[in-house]
Amino acid sequence: MKISRRSAVEAFRVMDVMEAARRREDAGHDVVHLEVGQPATPAPRRAREAAARLLKDGAPMGYTVALGIPELRERIARRIKEEYGADVPAERVIVTSGSSAGFILSFLALFDVGDSVVIGDPGYPSYRNTLAALGLAPRRVATGPATRWQPVAGDLGDAAGLLAASPANPTGTMLDEAAMKALVDACAASGAAFISDEIYHGLHWNGRSVSALEFSDDAIVINSFSKYFSMTGWRVGWMVVPDKLVRPIERLAQNLFICAPHVSQVAALHALDATEELETYRAVYARNREILLDGLPGAGFGNFAPCDGGFYIYVDVSEQCDDSQDLCRRMLEEAGVAATPGVDFDPDRGAQGLRFSFAGSEADMVEALRRLRNWKR
């Protein structure tokens, strides 16, 4: 049986680390999880109660329309107005099966096989892997301190599109208004598509989160209920797209996904009104961030990128090793701390980096630092 070349993408290594950590736990070892960007906080109470009512009442939960239930699309459009001052009609909002579906739909709707799309390294590995699986050409550009670990307008060249994330994974850096506008304007001038990954919006520590929707109706924005809203397993996200893309994406969504889970859409609708509770969650991550920023240097991990938003700290470990995968393996086996090797995010330079997530509990942060300080490496 033939296996397609398009399936020969790299592993999503953080998932491999999770599996290795699970095996150690199954064998009776205790593991502190700093590898995955999954909030330890639950879905907000309003969301859980709405889902419970739906289940208790025995309401039919069948297919919804492919673009999402109208009430959720309208509420997302209102949130965009509240957060960014941008007037976006609900018709341009598309509910997706997590942000992952949003990326697949946007790549398919915007690009033809062989088209190149600029992405920054280090960056979320599924960008390049999904692009490659769809027959597209990820054009990776090396970012660094000079550009605050973000792509810049000069990186676009003749590419068909550019994708930027703010706050970024794994570095946590954000685009300010001038930097975001420069990317939007560069893409508009060249006729390229601009995709803005905004799934960590709401989790900002230095300044506010800037949306591409503040500068253009042509930008494609992808967001999710997984991070700020603490609903990773519910698999629901959203996109905002230009008018001309709504119908093409609707056709693709009908065929590829049918719709996002019905119960998750109802829960997400109520999560949008849970700001007070969600801000208490954000305070947990803020404390966790401070604990790691203060404690990592004393544990031997003192060289890291700015952490303006999200819940990751990306550490340069070049003075300790030249193989971050081996370092993370030993850290898990010998110290009982799970972290993600930098090669997941940067195939060229990532052997000298690793990512810590502070999405867990405060107790986890304290215990992880204790173990790392005592680790004899």
Q: What pLDDT is stored for residue 368 in this prediction?
A: 97
Q: What pLDDT is stored for residue 320 in this prediction?
A: 87
Right CATH number for 5-43+276-374 from 3.40.640.10, 3.40.190.80, 3.40.1190.10, 3.40.50.300? 3.40.640.10
CA 238/CA 166 separation, integer angstroms: 16
CATH 3.40.640.10, the chain: domain bounds: 5-43+276-374, 60-273
DSSP 229-262: T--GGG--EEEE--HHHHHHHHHHHHHHTS-S-H
* Structural tokens at position 130: 């999904």
Q: What pLDDT is stored for residue 21 in this prediction?
A: 85
Q: What pLDDT is stored for residue 257 in this prediction?
A: 97
- Phi first, then psi, for residue 332 (nearest 5°) are -70, -50
The three-state DSSP-derived secondary structure of 260-284 is CCHHHHHHHHHHCCCHHHHHHHHHH
Q: What pLDDT is stored for residue 43 in this prediction?
A: 97
CB contact at 8 A, 236 and 225: yes
CB contact at 8 A, 267 and 51: yes
Fold of the 60-273 domain: Aspartate Aminotransferase; domain 2 (3.40.640)
Q: What pLDDT is stored for residue 359 in this prediction?
A: 96
CB contact at 8 A, 272 and 83: no
CA 197/CA 119 separation, integer angstroms: 11
Q: What is the pLDDT along the chain (377 residues), one digit of tens a residue?
A: 988 888 888 877 788 888 888 899 899 999 999 998 899 999 999 999 999 999 998 878 899 999 999 999 999 999 999 999 999 999 999 999 999 999 999 999 999 999 999 999 999 999 999 999 999 999 999 999 999 999 999 999 999 999 999 999 999 999 999 999 999 999 999 999 999 999 999 999 988 999 999 999 999 999 999 999 999 999 999 999 999 999 999 999 999 999 999 999 999 999 999 999 999 999 999 999 999 999 999 999 999 989 999 999 999 999 889 999 999 999 999 999 999 999 999 999 999 999 999 999 999 999 999 999 999 77
Q: What pLDDT is stored for residue 259 in this prediction?
A: 97
CB contact at 8 A, 134 and 6: yes
